[in-house]
Structure 1
């Protein structure tokens, strides 16, 4: 890992001062604490104030001026971008600061397709997923509603697909619709069963995936979307576009449903970023900052090439 990080951009030693308000995903708390401590050690005149209550509230804090930086475990939604643009008349700037986890619930795990253990299906493609889960078909030419349409024969040929997935309006559900359905909301509701995290006051359960795969384990003709963190007996993952979800395929961004952690901030196009915001982001994207990602969480560090590309977006 250290060798992989050697090519990351280095820090420019420029003294900074002020208070930096960081809002966003509470799952980032441990790594933000490490980033903050290291950055404040380099710049004693800086104080980082974290307010990590959620990705949704983080974006709201950004466009209402209560935060300088919003860390979200997903890309900002269209409504969040529109709210920011309505106030400032331009879109927020964005850089990626980490890759989502392989299997840690709550830390932007990659959605994976699962079938029942007895299902012979080897893999799926993004276009097939659009045909299966959608009705508008922005990526695929027509519906896929039976296992036979996916090439299975014998007992499978005429059996309908039973779909299990996270709530379409959850973070994972929105990400899945964005990549697979090209943001369409016209889903195959006839064959789809949605699952939500158990509602527990003042606690994050992140257990929709467990419910999904428990249902799949009892359904020979099911197809499910969940993360590897909930894999159990009776189900197995299938590759997507020929690529299985592994740590390496996520770090390289080869797996089609890899997620990213995004930092959003207020900068008008063509104008320089606030020096304190830019300085903190440059630290995050440095070798030291990316080592903290790996050391404090299940999030994955950016490759050297991707980190360098994000730094260029700060210029």
Structure 2
């Protein structure tokens, strides 16, 4: 059955000059749009920034990632904080107006297992399943019809993954978040190399607020299922998580706070800050000052002191600071 076409809710149109005029930042104020999950953290960042640079203010309108980029390219926001990377549509909307792409840096590591807070994706199977690990190429060959990571064939039954006995001839039933959700888009980019052709005949998608719990329930009832999802914070004894590796030459690791912060876990997510930096002009001083605080040791301690997101590693923070400086 053909999948229903989704129509973008917002189209960008208008006058580039008008957008540039709207984008002027009021003195001492930066306007921040984006995901509401960052409300408390942005407040902590603002307090820390103002201690080092008095007189600065953050005007935050954190109503959702899906409106953040629209605020940026229409000039009503100076920063768009997204719990994901911006979509191609959002980037093109910005480029259509300004004729250059939006700049961005990562500002936190996503959570380990908190729904809505950029959780890492995990592969799950029934607890009776003897499998302990997978590579991303194997996940691609399970879910992706095109197998863009180079697998020679699709993986359809458990014998294709080396299982024997009662498991060998059983078809692998697949479960995942809706492919057009934020989690689904990340999965397609990080695992399927941006392919949109999945093995639909074996895949059941979920699009509910409690998607992790719903998928875990489905696996509990399906001994021969395999799922990829995120945000499953509750313990479900009937399912287990698999260690993952980028490829067959790399050690598979489990998703933990440590492997996410170090980026050793291959399906770690990040929160990104997008901003308007003209190629021929310096970054706005207020925007740059705020982001430098966010990426500082103190700013990342603000992240570590909360229960939601994880901080960047020291090396990742340094990399993002170099990007901020245009290097």
* Post-superposition offset of 1:298: 1.9
* Post-superposition offset of 1:305: 1.1
178, 183, 186: which one aligns with 1:167: 178
What SS class does the counterpart of residue 108 from structure 2 fall into?
A: strand
302, 308, 323: which one aligns with 1:298: 308
**Gaps (5+ residues) in structure 1?**
1-15, 198-205
| Residue of structure 1 equivalent to 2:214 | 211
Equivalent pair of 1:213/1:230 in contact (CA under 8 Å): no
| Equivalences for residues 33-112 of structure 1 within 5 A | 33-112=43-122
* Post-superposition offset of 1:17: 4.9
| Residue of structure 1 equivalent to 2:7 | none
1:117 matches 2:127: yes
| Residue of structure 1 equivalent to 2:299 | 289
* Post-superposition offset of 1:40: 2.3
What SS class does the counterpart of residue 90 from structure 1 fall into?
A: coil
1:156 matches 2:160: no
* Post-superposition offset of 1:304: 1.0
1:30 matches 2:40: yes
CA distance in 1, matches of 2:280, 2:321: 15
Greater Cα shift, 268-277 or 102-111 = 268-277
* Post-superposition offset of 1:19: 1.3
What SS class does the counterpart of residue 56 from structure 2 fall into?
A: strand
Scaled by the length of structure 1, the TM-score of the pair is: 0.90
* Post-superposition offset of 1:214: 0.5
CA distance in 1, matches of 2:267, 2:316: 17
CA distance in 2, matches of 1:90, 1:194: 36
Greater Cα shift, 160-169 or 136-145 = 136-145
230, 236, 251: which one aligns with 1:232: 236
What SS class does the counterpart of residue 244 from structure 1 fall into?
A: coil
Q: How many positions carry a matched residue from both structures?
A: 292
CA distance in 2, matches of 1:231, 1:223: 17
* Post-superposition offset of 1:296: 2.6
CA distance in 2, matches of 1:257, 1:290: 21
The structure showing larger relative contact order (alpha-carbon pairs under 8 Å, at least 6 residues apart) is: 1
| Equivalences for residues 114-193 of structure 1 within 5 A | 114-139=124-149, 140-193=151-204
**Gaps (5+ residues) in structure 2?**
1-25, 246-251
Deviations 1:276-309 (A, max 9, x none): 1000000000111000011134211111111111
CA distance in 2, matches of 1:128, 1:172: 19
Residues 122 and 56 of structure 1, relative CA distance in 2, 3 Å threshold: same
CA distance in 2, matches of 1:224, 1:230: 16
1:247 matches 2:257: yes
| Residue of structure 1 equivalent to 2:272 | 262
* Post-superposition offset of 1:270: 5.3
